[in-house]
């Protein structure tokens, strides 16, 4: 719960990296913070499908892939944009436009051949090659990630675990020995590597700097901190606290249609009357992180899935 300078980095002391990379939306689109100057970004071929895929489209490709895989396992041969879109929960026009950015993989009057489209999207996402995953921070989170079997079978393979806590360095977690961060190095010549950051928020920025200086250019950040990285490095964040707060915002609005919700403009605080200076404030989940793991028990066979309205 110690939110030191790592949280708000640049404000406190001097730090090298700039070009902060936000979370979801702002992660890559145009330039986020790269400066007002670099408009255009037509560095490559413009008419080449594969180039210039909108970020919003990229974010939906995994969903399409998922739905397609489900269809494939069910034995479905072809699917229309209408049906596939319904499965993913988007409009059919959006789906078609998305796919058109990758190329023309459909057949007019028929639809899309499931297997073919599946391969194409996989290829576009880079899932035809192997991806090395290194996990930094072997707490509850990192441990579960390391033990997560889904990695290996999907093209993402854990190849290294790192932590600086003496308590865990040297320990063998799921076949991998936890090594100290000082020994960190990007596996296999620096390409096709993704680092998963599962360290406390307080040290996340410093660890991130270290990774970047070692050549890492893709980071999945579980710490509730906005990492500041140089241009060319991609960061995506998974943040439970933010998600809950966003849900709270919408829920609250639904519940109180008339209320403005804001505290009375001029003065201290009204409305609920509660809320100490920073007691309830934001910054939830600092020092903690999300944890990914297998799901052994959980809901088994639902009694009756009723719920029809």
Partner DNA sequence: CGATGTGAAAAGGTTCACAGCC
Partner DNA sequence: GGCTGTGAACCTTTTCACATCG
The binding site for DNA (CB under 7 A) comprises 25-26, 29-33, 36-37, 39, 41, 54-57, 80-82, 90-94, 96-97, 99-100, 104-112
The partner in contact with residue 159, picked from DNA, a second copy, none with C-beta cut-offs of 5 to 8 angstroms by kind, is: none
The binder of 246, among a second copy, DNA, none, by C-beta within 5 to 8 A per type, is a second copy
* Residue 138 labelled as part of a binding site: yes
Task: Answer whether 236's CB lies under 8 Å from 23's CB.
Answer: yes
Residue placing its CB nearer to a second copy in the complex, 63 or 187: 63
Nearer to a second copy, 96 or 283 (CB): 283
Task: Return the residues of window 133-192 that contact a second copy according to CB under 8 A.
Answer: 133, 136-142, 144, 148, 150, 153-156, 163-168, 180-182, 191-192
**CA distance linking residue 267 with residue 275, whole number of Å:** 14
Nearest CB to DNA, comparing residues 85 and 216: 85
- The nearest distance, CB 100 to a second copy, in angstroms, is 13
260 is a site residue for a second copy (CB under 8 A): yes
* Residue found by looking up tokens 């073919």 in the block: 116
Kindly state whether residue 78 participates in binding a second copy, applying the rule CB under 8 A: no
Annotated binding residue 139? yes
Q: Which is nearer to a second copy, 109 or 257 (CB)?
A: 257
Give the phi and the psi of residue 67 in degrees, each rounded to 5: -65, -40
Restricting to residues 102-131, which ones interact with a second copy according to CB under 8 A? 102-105, 115, 118-129, 131
As measured in angstroms, the least distance from the Cβ of 127 to DNA is 21
**Which residues does 83 contact at the CB level (< 8 Å), separation at least 6?**
111
Q: Which of 30, 33, 110, 185 binds a second copy (CB under 8 A)?
A: 33
What is the DSSP secondary-structure string of 216-282? --EEEE-SSS--B--TT-EEEE--HHHHHHHHHHHHHHHH-SS---SPPSSSS--TT----SSSS-S
CA–CA separation, 118 vs 258, rounded Å? 47
Is residue 163 within 8 A of residue 180, CB to CB? The reply is yes
Ligand-binding site membership of 2 (annotated):
no
Chain centre distance of CA 33: 19
- Please state, in angstroms and as integers, the Cα–Cα distance from residue 253 to each residue in 178, 245, 274, following that order: 47, 12, 19
The residue from 95, 99, 161, 199 that contacts a second copy (CB under 8 A) is 199
d(CA 168, CA 172): 8
User: Least distance from C-beta 58 to DNA, angstroms?
Assistant: 9
Is residue 276 part of an annotated ligand binding site? no
Report the binding-site residues for NAD(+). 137-142
């Amino acid at each position: 719960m110690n939110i030191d300078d790592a949280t708000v980095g640049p404000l406190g002391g001097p730090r090298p990296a700039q070009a902060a990379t936000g979370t979801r939306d702002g992660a890559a689109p145009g330039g986020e913070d790269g400066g007002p100057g670099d408009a255009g970004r037509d560095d490559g071929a413009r008419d080449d499908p594969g180039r210039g895929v909108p970020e919003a489209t990229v974010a939906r490709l995994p969903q399409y892939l998922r739905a397609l895989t489900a269809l494939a396992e069910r034995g479905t041969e072809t699917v229309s944009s209408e049906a596939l879109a319904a499965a993913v929960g988007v409009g059919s026009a959006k789906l078609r436009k998305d796919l058109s950015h990758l190329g023309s993989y459909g057949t007019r009057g028929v639809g899309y051949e499931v297997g073919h489209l599946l391969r194409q999207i996989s290829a576009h996402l880079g899932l035809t090659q192997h991806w090395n995953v290194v996990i930094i921070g072997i707490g509850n989170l990192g441990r579960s990630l390391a033990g997560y079997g889904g990695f290996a079978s999907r093209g993402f393979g854990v190849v290294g675990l790192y932590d600086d806590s003496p308590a865990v360095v040297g320990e063998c977690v799921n076949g991998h020995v936890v090594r100290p961060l000082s020994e960190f190095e990007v596996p296999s010549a620096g390409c096709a590597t993704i680092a998963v950051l599962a360290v406390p928020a307080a040290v996340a920025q410093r660890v991130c700097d270290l990774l970047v200086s070692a050549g890492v250019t893709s980071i999945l950040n579980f710490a509730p901190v906005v990492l500041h990285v140089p241009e060319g490095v991609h960061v995506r964040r998974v943040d439970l606290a933010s998600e809950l707060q966003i849900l709270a915002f919408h829920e609250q609005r639904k519940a109180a249609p008339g209320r403005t919700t804001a505290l009375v403009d001029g003065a201290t605080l009204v409305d609920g009357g509660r809320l100490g200076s920073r007691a309830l404030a934001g910054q939830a989940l600092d020092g903690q992180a999300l944890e990914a793991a297998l799901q052994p028990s959980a809901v088994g066979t639902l009694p009756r899935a009723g719920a029809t309205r």
